[in-house]
Amino acid sequence: MPFAFLMHDPLAGTLMLLAVLWLSAKVGGELAVRLKLPAVTGELAVGLALTALHRAWPLFPDVAASPATELLGGLGVVVLMFAVGLESTVPQMLKVGVASLRVALIGVVAPMLAGLAGAWILLPKGSPLVLDLFIGACLCATSIGISAQVLREKGASDSLAGRIIVGAAVVDDVLGLLVLVAVSGMVGAAAGGALGPQLVKTMGLALGFLAAALTLGRLATPRLFQLATRFRGEQVLLPLGLGFAFLLAWLGNLAGLASIVGAYAAGLILEPAHIVDLEHRERHTLEELIHPLVTVLSPLFFVLMGAKVDPGALFKPATLGFALLLALLGVIGKYVAGYGAGRGIRAAVVGWGMVPRGEVGLIFVAAGAQLHLDGVPLLSPDVQAGIIGALLLTTVAGPVGLGWVLRKEKR
């Protein structure tokens, strides 16, 4: 048969699955945008729906179990964190001001305590402390991308409150990643039976890696990319930028950190001045070049995260109650951070701007899904579903609340 190869192509099933994922992610994101919700909300909902469809019709592909989806989703989150890092620089972090630092500190400590309280109230007695801490860590995250979009739509990006929100979110990202590293280290230490020394070692490696990346990396990066200007081939900037991000992600993993930490650090230290010659030659900035990759790959990560949620677990009354309480505590924890902005700044604007968790919180859940304690996954299906449900609710509540207070302020 002349078409026998096509009929038996081992790649055909994967191509069909990816087509379904990308098309459904786009449709879900579009529906969410039309409902004035973040696109990530629709992508997560689509993943949940695809898993439900597989449960009802086993012939439909199992998205959550697909190695291709896992690989591309993993690449998507690394590229996403690299892009998030590119949006800021080390000098900008140092100039965010005392107000942003206060907001960020409160925005980490208060949700952490709130998450601990929620876990203590709702989880069965005897649950490991590291599980409570991890739930608190998930509530520490802030998705600046969602708030930044709302600020741009309302013309408030350049306002004092807007700058404080952005600055606090930058610091919050770093603090949140350190919290994630600490809790992950505690899980590993608890499994090994040497909590104190192992935690100190983990935090030392984390801080050492970040310090080396932010100092030595900043010194070496300009020279490396200056050498790259001697390349005569075309389209040099994007491959070198991605190679740099993946290299630091790998080095971060060697240091015992999540790969996303290294990717974020790569974007943070790769400042515009280091690559201006290449950008001028190629007539595009690195952020412009990497944006299509983020657009293509990151939705797969969100769909995959939604697909990993057990629909039966999420819609259990107990799990829904857990999600609602965590979401409420998460909103309160970030809202009170707005009062750290100081006098003359509307605490409600800053507070609501810090509420959305979005992709950052989901990245934390993805990291937690890989953790095991005594050979058992740290996050049970019910707990994972409850956390994702809470993150979804805050992702919806944040932009709604921020838009409302900005409209009220304008009036």
Q: Model confidence over 326-378: pLDDT tens digits?
A: 899 989 999 999 898 877 778 888 899 888 876 677 777 877 777 777 777 88
List, for residues 244-270, the tens digit of each pLDDT value. 889 888 887 777 666 777 887 888 787
Q: Report H helices in 123-258.
A: 129-138, 144-153, 160-192, 195-228, 237-254
Question: 22-410 has which CATH code?
Answer: 1.20.1530.20
Domain boundaries, the chain: 22-410
> By the 8 A CB rule, do 38 and 146 touch?
yes
CA distance 357 to 139: 7
pLDDT of residue 3: 45
Whether the pLDDT of residue 117 is over 50: the answer is yes
Whether the pLDDT of residue 233 is over 80: the answer is no
Instruction: Determine if the pTM surpasses 0.85.
Output: no
| Angle at which helices 97-122 and 129-138 cross, to 10° | 140
A 10 A CB-CB count for 392 gives 26
